[in-house]
Amino acid sequence: MLTFEHVSKIYKGQKRAVDDLNFQIEKGEFIVLIGPSGCGKTTTMKMINRLIEPTEGTIFLNGENIMHMDPVKLRRQIGYVIQQIGLFPHMTIEQNISLVPRLLKWSSDKQRERAKELLSLVDMTPDYLNRYPNELSGGQQQRIGVLRALAADQPLILMDEPFGALDPITRDSLQTEFKKLQRKLKKTIVFVTHDMDEAIKLADRIVIMKDGRVVQFDTPDEILRNPANEFVEEFIGKERLSQVRPHIQTVDQIMNPAPVTVTPNVSLTEAIKIMKQRRVDSLLVVDQNNMLVGYIDFEIIDQKRSKASKIEEVIEKELFKVETGTLVRDTIQTILKRGLKYVPVVDAENRLVGIVTRTNLVDVVYDSIWGDGDSEIKAQ
């Protein structure tokens, strides 16, 4: 979709800000550019929509040299989000979301439909459309900011440290949400950050830059496993758990893929029998399509036994879960912070695919301290 061939940028009277970039980005990829301040990330990004023009080399968008395209038309195909452009306080949420579609002269019906559709993607109802930013929580306002980037439905979106100014918790949840949206909408994203955690969480592939050059361009997994040089190692960070044991990164690699489950129509007596047989004190409840709906444990059953006979009457629906691909490091933090015994793992459609228990995690941590580094962790 996007190809850089020998692209360099020399600002007047200076050394090369960007030096001989060569890479290719596929459609639907989430690419993160990362590197120390001044390494050329913003310059690289701005050359894509011609806010800056390369001194040497060629950039192709869908096979076409962007220098042969009309810059206005080029920019219409490309969404662009820079660090925290806040919402406009005197505009409604709809007007804020529809900023670019309005500039592109979409009909007002089409604008409204799109705004509604986008709100529903982040589980917000259409009645937010007529509200003003100050009526929304900080987190909701940030969500609207992200939706604005998606509003005109451009296939390629450039984002320059869009979450840079957020507090860690809002940032974390927005990252998760944005990644989900990107997958769903199949957008190609070029995203600049200086935060390695953010890069690992979001990227399909990461471009690590230093002094205007690409030091490594690879999947997060590969970068953690085989950092190209000391600079990359340093940049990844020494205290990262996944670096201690680089081949363990996501919950998929350590989860137990066969958690003990029941369906809601099972009786409490039967449930207790299963728990005893399988030696567990809690059961995950799934529907006939293996969608995770909740859990039950001895304590809940014990409390409600006199008034109920089936699981569906006592099921606890509030439970913390993670999606496949979640980093082990993040999961450990959550488990410790919330005092959880285990965390179910679901796919993007909420189908149960496994469970990570404290024991799984303890194994990982101990193995990374005492293990010989070669033995694979069993999925039990």
Q: Which residues in this chain contact Mg ion in the complex, by CB under 5 A?
A: 42
Q: Based on CB atoms, which residue is closest to ligand ADP, 35 or 133?
A: 35
With CB atoms as reference, the residue minimizing the distance to Mg ion is 42
Binding at 208: pick from Mg ion, ligand ADP, none (beta carbon under 5-8 Å per type): none
Q: Based on CB atoms, which residue is closest to Mg ion, 42 or 175?
A: 42
CA–chain centroid gap for 226, Å, is: 22
Distances (CA, A) of 366 to 26, 333, 371: 39, 16, 7
Dihedral (CA of 19, 23, 27, 33) sign: negative
Q: Based on CB atoms, which residue is closest to ligand ADP, 209 or 275?
A: 209
Least distance between ligand ADP and beta carbon 281 (Å): 51
Binding at 373: pick from Mg ion, ligand ADP, none (beta carbon under 5-8 Å per type): none
φ, ψ for residue 57, nearest 5 deg: 90, 180
Beta-strand (E) ranges in 226-365? 261-262, 282-286, 292-297, 322-323, 342-346, 352-357
Point out which span in 33-41, 145-153, 170-178, 293-301 binds ligand ADP (CB under 6 A): 33-41
Size of the site for ligand ADP (CB under 6 A): 11
Burial of 3 (0-12, 13-18, 19+ CB in 10 A): middle
Q: Does 11 help bind ligand ADP (rule: CB under 6 A)?
A: yes
φ, ψ for residue 199, nearest 5 deg: -60, -45
CA dihedral 359, 223, 181, 253 (to 10 degrees): -20
Contact 219, 204 (CB under 8 A): yes
Binding at 11: pick from Mg ion, ligand ADP, none (beta carbon under 5-8 Å per type): ligand ADP
3 Cβ neighbours under 8 A, 6+ residues apart? 23, 24, 25, 59, 60
Q: Which of residues 36-95 bind ligand ADP (CB under 6 A)?
A: 37-43
Distances (CA, A) of 4 to 28, 44, 55: 17, 10, 13
Binding at 118: pick from ligand ADP, Mg ion, none (beta carbon under 5-8 Å per type): none
CA dist 310 and 201 (Å) reads: 40
Point out which span in 30-38, 100-108, 319-327, 351-359 binds ligand ADP (CB under 6 A): 30-38
Task: Work out which of 2, 7, 17, 203 binds ligand ADP, going by CB under 6 A.
Answer: 17
Binding at 39: pick from Mg ion, ligand ADP, none (beta carbon under 5-8 Å per type): ligand ADP
Least distance between ligand ADP and beta carbon 41 (Å): 3
Q: Based on CB atoms, which residue is closest to ligand ADP, 42 or 92?
A: 42
Least distance between ligand ADP and beta carbon 42 (Å): 3
Q: Based on CB atoms, which residue is closest to Mg ion, 42 or 331?
A: 42
Residue reference for tokens 């569906």 = 312
Residues within the interface to ligand ADP (CB under 6 A): 11, 14, 17, 35, 37-43
